[in-house]
Structure 1
Amino acid sequence: MKPIIALTADSLIDHSAVINQHDADMAPTAIKEAIVAAGGIPIILPFSLTTEPDEAQINQLVDLFDGLLLPGGPDVDPTFFGEEPIPQIGRTAYRKDAFEIALIKKTRAVHKPIFAICRGIQVYNVACGGTLYQDLATQDTAYAIRHAQAAPGNFPTHHVRIAQDSRLAKLLGNSSYVNSRHHQAVKQPAPGLRVVAQAADGVIEALESINDDSFLGVQWHPENMWQVQKEQFAFFADLVARAAAN
């Protein structure tokens, strides 16, 4: 049996005069294709725009999959980590945050593996008790790299340093050349997580769980690079392998 990998959905909302004709729940095709290539079966988990998830719903959803992938998406609502929004914050989606945080907590409780990308590493950190920079350029005094790159999203633009004694180093080595499409980032890592990659300006680029192999998250977008930079495929193969062994 191939392991089932769940992806949380984003929501495309139609703001035209034709109400409800073009709204859609979606997940990145590049991630779905990477999961298939790694030997997994992807499923998409949408969230409700009108109601917060209840415990029974979350429990039933978690029973459906063997591993969870948290893709990129909108900014994380800062009220989830005890702050009010600053003027520089981008689009947020409160219902999506509430759904993903509940899903993360239950998935962690039953020890199913998780891999997170960009917004995914941020919302995972918040779900576990960490904090974020709402906007790097205005809140991080050491900010010195353009993390919201102008280059096409599949092009790498800066390097990251990887901790030698990390699981991430076993996948990529001691450094990697990565793309960068974000203006929020992890500020204070949550208890139980360790920083395993940083950019030259100190921005946190990867976290992993300390006591087991249940979580790995990166700030860049390997789904846009794995077809050319073959080493980036290792993340999807690793998630599928962890899910199959769970």
Structure 2
Amino acid sequence: MRPIIAMTADTLEEPSTSLNVNQADYAPRDVKNAVIAAGGVPVILPFPDDISLATELAQAAVTTFDGLLLPGGPDVDPTLYGEEPSFAIGATLYPKDRLEQALIRATLAAGKPIMAICRGMQILNVTLGGTLYQDLASQDPDATIRHAQAAPGQFPTHHVTVKATSQLAKLIGEQAYVNSRHHEAVKRVAPGLQVVATAPDGVIEALADQADRQIMAVQWHPENLFAADAAQLRPFTLLVKRAAAARTTATFAAQPKVS
């Protein structure tokens, strides 16, 4: 049976022409396709407008899925890591932040795997106690690469170096050519996480948990690349594999003991 992979939703800013409603919930199509190609079943979790419900919904939802995928999206609200918004910050979506934070905590507590992409890596780092650059160009003088690429998203534009001993290196190698469309980035790495890839200018491009068994987070968008670069599907495949293992463990744990 295919593992269930939960994906958090965004909300359309403009009215949907097909549904004729404002703020329709949606998830990136390429992420959905990558999960299916990797052997999983994607389900979409919309966020509640009432943030007081975030923890309750997350704790209920975590019992229904085997792994969590945090896709890209809007900027992370900087008040979540103790800062006020700079002039260069983009649009934020506080209710989405709060649901994702609750889901991250519930998923980790349940021993289930997480994969995070771009903004997903950023909210993961913030949730676990890290901070962000709100805008690389104005806040990080060492950032010399254009991380918000002008090229179409399905084309890679810069290289990353991957930690040789990491799970990520086993999947995509110690050097990779990736796409890049972000202006925020990880600043202080959260306790419990480790850096497993960097760009040539030192910007953090991937994180994992210290044991490298439950969390894989990348700053680029492998969902846009895997059609032309098969290696970029492998992080999704690992997520599905970890999710299948988590399901098996949970199933065995729930079995009655035979005397």
TM-score range, shorter chain: over 0.9
Aligned residues: 243
Root-mean-square deviation (Å): 1.3
> What secondary structure sits across from 1:79 in the alignment?
helix
Give, in angstroms, the shift of residue 25 of structure 1.
0.4
Letter aligned with residue 30 of structure 1: D
> Would the aligned equivalents of 2:51 and 2:99 in 1 still touch at CA under 8 Å?
no
| Of 71-80 and 54-63, the range deviating more from structure 2 | 54-63
Give, in angstroms, the shift of residue 165 of structure 1.
1.1
**Alignment deviations for residues 205-230 of structure 1 (CA, whole Å, 9 cap, x no partner):** 00000124110000000000001111
Give, in angstroms, the shift of residue 173 of structure 1.
1.0
Structure 2: state its 5+ residue gaps. 247-259
Corresponding residue number in structure 2 for 1:119: 119
Q: Map of 1:1-246 to 2, 5 A cutoff?
A: 1-14=1-14, 21-246=21-246
Q: Distance in 2 between matches of 1:4 and 1:15?
A: 30
Give, in angstroms, the shift of residue 82 of structure 1.
0.4
Q: Distance in 1 between matches of 2:86 and 2:75?
A: 12
Corresponding residue number in structure 1 for 2:254: none
Name the TM-score, length of structure 2 as normaliser: 0.91
Give, in angstroms, the shift of residue 15 of structure 1.
7.0
Structure 1: state its 5+ residue gaps. none
> Would the aligned equivalents of 1:9 and 1:26 in 2 still touch at CA under 8 Å?
yes
Give, in angstroms, the shift of residue 14 of structure 1.
3.0
Give, in angstroms, the shift of residue 231 of structure 1.
0.6
Larger Rg: 2
Q: Distance in 2 between matches of 1:45 and 1:55?
A: 13
Give, in angstroms, the shift of residue 57 of structure 1.
2.1
Q: Distance in 2 between matches of 1:53 and 1:132?
A: 26
Q: Distance in 1 between matches of 2:68 and 2:242?
A: 11
> What secondary structure sits across from 1:116 in the alignment?
strand
> What secondary structure sits across from 2:43 in the alignment?
strand
**Alignment deviations for residues 103-125 of structure 1 (CA, whole Å, 9 cap, x no partner):** 10111111100000000000000
Q: Distance in 1 between matches of 2:21 and 2:40?
A: 32
> What secondary structure sits across from 2:196 in the alignment?
strand
**Alignment deviations for residues 179-236 of structure 1 (CA, whole Å, 9 cap, x no partner):** 0000000001100100010001000000000124110000000000001111101011
Give, in angstroms, the shift of residue 59 of structure 1.
1.1
> What secondary structure sits across from 1:159 in the alignment?
strand
Letter aligned with residue 124 of structure 1: L
Letter aligned with residue 73 of structure 2: G
Q: Distance in 2 between matches of 1:33 and 1:116?
A: 16
Give, in angstroms, the shift of residue 52 of structure 1.
3.3
Percent of aligned pairs sharing the same letter: 58
**Alignment deviations for residues 85-132 of structure 1 (CA, whole Å, 9 cap, x no partner):** 000000000111011011101111111000000000000000100000
Q: Distance in 2 between matches of 1:205 and 1:116?
A: 11
Q: Distance in 2 between matches of 1:3 and 1:131?
A: 32
